[in-house]
Structure 1
Amino acid sequence: MTAAITADNILAHELVGLEATVVESSDPTIKGLKGTVVFETKNTISIRTTKENAAVKTVPKIAAKTIEFHTQTGACFISGATLIARPEDRISRLS
């Protein structure tokens, strides 16, 4: 059984599948972007938008100053710079 994703342990979990919103960004074109995380690399997060066209947008982690993730226990706000690392390295380092 997998532990519930909370604000305390979100960095040690997979982000794919979580609902996310870019709250604050240095790039005005991604500010307010909302959807489901579908892919993550060392420097980017891909989000499938919840708009009618359901496009996948790639968000540079460094440009996303604040990202809101919706977890099973509530919302969690994280700086995109905190997420810069290969997902598998971040997960193994923190778990």
Structure 2
Amino acid sequence: MITADNITSHEFLGLNTEIIKSTNPQVIGLNGRIVNETKSMFTINTEKGHKSIAKSTNNWKFSIEGKDVVVEGTKISKRPFDRIGGKA
């Protein structure tokens, strides 16, 4: 079960997210459901289609158990299976 405390140790596929801070001001506020994840990128299904966005240059907001959780992209810029199990 994904919680605010262990979110960085889980896969993000299927989660809704929003970029709240970025080195690229044009993507701040971009939101949608994560449909693919690689070591360095999320592919997000947005209202305007699929967008591939670098993880490391952004802060990502997730709603977990009714709480907003912000995750720094640099902390999750690993392959999903390298993070699972608390290796983040």
Q: Normalising by structure 2, what TM-score? A: 0.89
1:12-62 CA-to-partner distances (Å, cap 9, x unmatched) read: 11100111000010012211101001111001111111x2x3x11111012
Partners of 1:75 and 1:17 lie apart in 2 by 16
Rg (Cα) greater in structure: 1
Secondary structure of 1:29 counterpart: helix
Which of the pair is proportionally richer in strand? 2
Structure 1 partner of 2:84: 91
Amino acid at match of 1:61: K
Answering whether residue 39 of structure 2 is matched by residue 46 of structure 1, we say: no
Q: How many residues matched?
A: 87
Give the conservation status (yes or no) of the 8 Å contact 1:6–1:74.
Answer: no
Structure 1 partner of 2:64: 71
Q: Where do 1:1-95 residues align within 5 Å?
A: 3=1, 5-49=2-46, 51=47, 53=48, 55-64=49-58, 66-92=59-85, 94=86
Give the conservation status (yes or no) of the 8 Å contact 1:12–1:91.
Answer: yes
Partners of 1:22 and 1:58 lie apart in 2 by 12
Amino acid at match of 1:34: N
